[in-house]
């Protein structure tokens, strides 16, 4: 029944209406991971963020180069101490129509709406996972309908980027507090598309907002599309099959089951698809890595020499070529990925198997032990972990793989129950502080993302100092120094810096990529 709905020719039929929309103005994609909520307070993962991005707006947004640009705030000021942000709001932004607004069906956004929206992030009754966004905030207030002020506890230069997250989108109090309205399933925002229908596990439909406030460079109102249709087909191979038949407009995933069908070993599109599909690639702010729990009682893990041996004991370039079809960049330059200021340009993890064997030999001679480490992973990265297992065996380290469900792995990692774990760190906002926070002492898990329990007083001093510097160029120098410090102690093994890859049907234009892999559809056209 679901497949039948996915292959309707030419026309997409919208449920609960008699409206038919030409397929040429409907953008279609599949979300195999499903969506749990359309409330921006729960915009914690890509599957939720992508549709929320179409329905809601915040004070600011990121352009495709990750520069902070106006959205509902047409301008802003930051005081000389970097602690007070004053935003000046547009006065022509309307919420999508809803009976909850009364007879007028809608109203303009005013500054107090942002105060209400921010309150929700820290309200225990809401239970938003985005409450951490407010950690640096001391207070906020609406000075009048068009001026909104935020005061921070201390300077935090990345804060303006953080406000671009959809956690910080504006929502209407009347609709959320209407007892007859389920905001999770029937969101009301201000974005280029408005909610139409959601049949959970089947499809989600968004329609064009005819009163959207943004225009293109030529003065034409956005968006160009009439609708977005999102399907929830859980089988990745079926998703690929339907994409190859033109039933979806783009494919975001690259599953091992079909990667060789689409790509050559060098990462180029297979010739037979060249007339139908185009490939998009770009840096993605995601570092894949192995983390070591430094408070583990395992003697091998307590040895800096063994952690270094693991870092230099396998060929990252070979791993990327054969296991990722050259999608991604070998993590040879520390933890900060390609695309962020502060990334090291020097080689910090150069492949040196002989030195790795020597380090392991010294450890064995000194302790009388053969180093043995348990590495936890989920099924999605089993191939990479098995590759590491084989390479570690060559240098004298026994790597035992514990395969576990993703939620179990996540919980055990946070609780410090794993010796070593495979993990990803995807940037929430485009500042290298986002990565370096994983090694700050006050972020020890389970209360923060320092899952390795790395501790270094000098590192912490530099981290705090960086937060007082408004100049990105000056902060970047400290970021490089901190990243180098991490890679001299080896609490982690950076594997590769990810690369965003999309397969797009020819005839789609205005579909641009960015290093956060945000889905922006307001400027997309179908020819």
Tens-digit pLDDT profile for residues 76-94: 999 999 999 999 999 999 9
Give percent of the chain above pLDDT 90: 80
Domains, the chain, with CATH or none: 1-32+192-276+506-527 (3.40.190.10), 37-44+55-181 (3.90.76.10), 284-500 (3.10.105.10)
Specify the pLDDT at position 33: 84
Tens-digit pLDDT profile for residues 227-246: 999 999 988 889 999 999 99
Give percent of the chain above pLDDT 70: 96
Tens-digit pLDDT profile for residues 162-180: 999 999 999 999 999 999 9
Residue 4 has pLDDT above 60, yes or no: no
Residue 520 has pLDDT above 70, yes or no: yes
Q: Mean pLDDT score of the chain, rounded to an integer?
A: 92
Q: Which residue has the higher pLDDT, 64 or 101?
A: 101
Residue 525 has pLDDT above 60, yes or no: yes
Contact call for residues 138 and 132 (beta carbons, < 8 A): no
**β-strands 227-231, 26-30 pairing:** parallel
Tens-digit pLDDT profile for residues 340-382: 999 988 888 899 999 999 999 999 999 999 999 999 999 989 9
Specify the pLDDT at position 423: 96
Specify the pLDDT at position 1: 36
Specify the pLDDT at position 20: 64
Written as one string, the DSSP assignment of 369-390 is ---EEEEEE-GGGHHHHHHHHH
Cα–Cα–Cα angle for 100, 103, 106, rounded to 5 degrees: 60
pLDDT band at 7 (very low <50, low <70, confident <90, very high): very low
| Separation CA 241–CA 258 (nearest Å) | 10
Mean pLDDT of 468-489: 94
| Separation CA 6–CA 199 (nearest Å) | 13
Specify the pLDDT at position 19: 55
Residue 518 has pLDDT above 70, yes or no: yes
- C-alpha count within 13 angstroms, C-beta hemisphere, residue 343: 18
Q: What is the pTM of this model?
A: 0.85
Contact call for residues 360 and 394 (beta carbons, < 8 A): no
Residue 395 has pLDDT above 50, yes or no: yes
Tens-digit pLDDT profile for residues 49-62: 999 999 999 999 99
Among 334, 335, 306, 329, smallest CA distance to 316 is for 329
Residue 279 has pLDDT above 50, yes or no: yes
How is residue 97 written in tokens? 């129509």
């Amino acid at each position: 029944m679901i497949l039948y709905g996915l292959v309707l020719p030419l026309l997409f039929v919208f449920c609960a209406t008699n409206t038919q929309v030409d397929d040429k103005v409907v953008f279609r994609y599949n979300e195999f991971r499903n969506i749990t909520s359309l409330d921006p307070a729960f915009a914690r993962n890509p599957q939720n963020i992508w549709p929320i991005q179409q329905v809601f707006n915040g004070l600011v947004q990121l352009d495709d180069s990750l520069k902070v640009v106006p959205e509902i705030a047409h301008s802003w000021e930051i005081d000389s101490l970097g602690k007070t942000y004053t935003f000046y709001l547009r006065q022509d932004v309307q919420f999508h129509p809803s009976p909850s607004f009364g007879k007028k069906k809608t109203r303009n956004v005013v500054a107090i709406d942002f105060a209400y929206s921010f309150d929700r992030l820290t309200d225990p009754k809401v239970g938003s996972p985005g409450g951490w966004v407010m950690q640096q905030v001391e207070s906020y207030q609406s000075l009048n309908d068009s001026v909104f002020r935020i005061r921070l506890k201390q300077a935090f230069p990345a804060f303006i980027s953080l406000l671009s997250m959809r956690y910080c989108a504006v929502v209407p109090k009347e609709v959320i507090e209407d007892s007859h309205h389920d905001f999770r399933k029937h969101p009301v925002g201000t974005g280029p598309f408005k909610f139409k229908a959601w049949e959970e596990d089947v499809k989600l439909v968004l329609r064009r907002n005819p009163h959207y406030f943004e225009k293109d460079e030529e003065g034409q109102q956005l968006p160009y599309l009439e609708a977005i249709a999102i399907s929830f087909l859980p089988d990745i191979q079926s998703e690929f099959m339907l994409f190859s038949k033109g039933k979806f407009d783009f494919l975001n995933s690259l599953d091992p089951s079909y990667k060789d069908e689409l790509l050559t070993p060098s990462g180029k599109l297979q010739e037979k698809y060249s007339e139908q599909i185009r490939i998009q690639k770009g840096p993605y702010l995601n570092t894949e890595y192995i983390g070591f729990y430094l408070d583990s009682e395992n003697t091998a893990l307590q040895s800096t020499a063994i952690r270094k041996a693991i870092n230099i004991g396998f060929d990252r370039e070979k791993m990327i070529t054969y296991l990722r079809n050259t999608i991604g960049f070998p993590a040879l330059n520390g933890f900060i990925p390609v695309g962020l200021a502060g990334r090291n340009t020097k080689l910090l993890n150069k492949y040196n198997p002989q030195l790795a064997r020597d380090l392991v030999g010294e450890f064995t001679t000194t302790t009388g032990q053969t180093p043995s480490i348990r590495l936890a992973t989920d099924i999605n990265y089993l191939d990479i972990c098995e590759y590491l297992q084989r390479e570690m065996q060559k240098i004298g380290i026994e790597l035992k793989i514990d395969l576990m469900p993703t939620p179990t792995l996540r919980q055990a990692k946070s609780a410090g129950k794993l010796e070593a774990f495979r993990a990803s760190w995807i940037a929430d906002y485009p500042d290298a502080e986002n990565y370096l926070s994983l090694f700050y002492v006050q972020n020890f898990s389970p209360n923060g993302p320092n899952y390795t329990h790395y501790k270094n007083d000098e590192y912490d001093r530099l981290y705090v100092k960086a937060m007082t510097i408004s100049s990105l160029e000056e902060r970047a120098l400290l970021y490089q120094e901190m990243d180098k410090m991490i890679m001299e102690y080896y609490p982690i093994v950076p594997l590769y810096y990810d690369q965003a890859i999309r397969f797009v049907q020819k005839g789609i234009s205005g579909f641009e990529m960015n290093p956060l892999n945000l889905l922006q559809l307001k400027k997309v056209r179908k020819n």
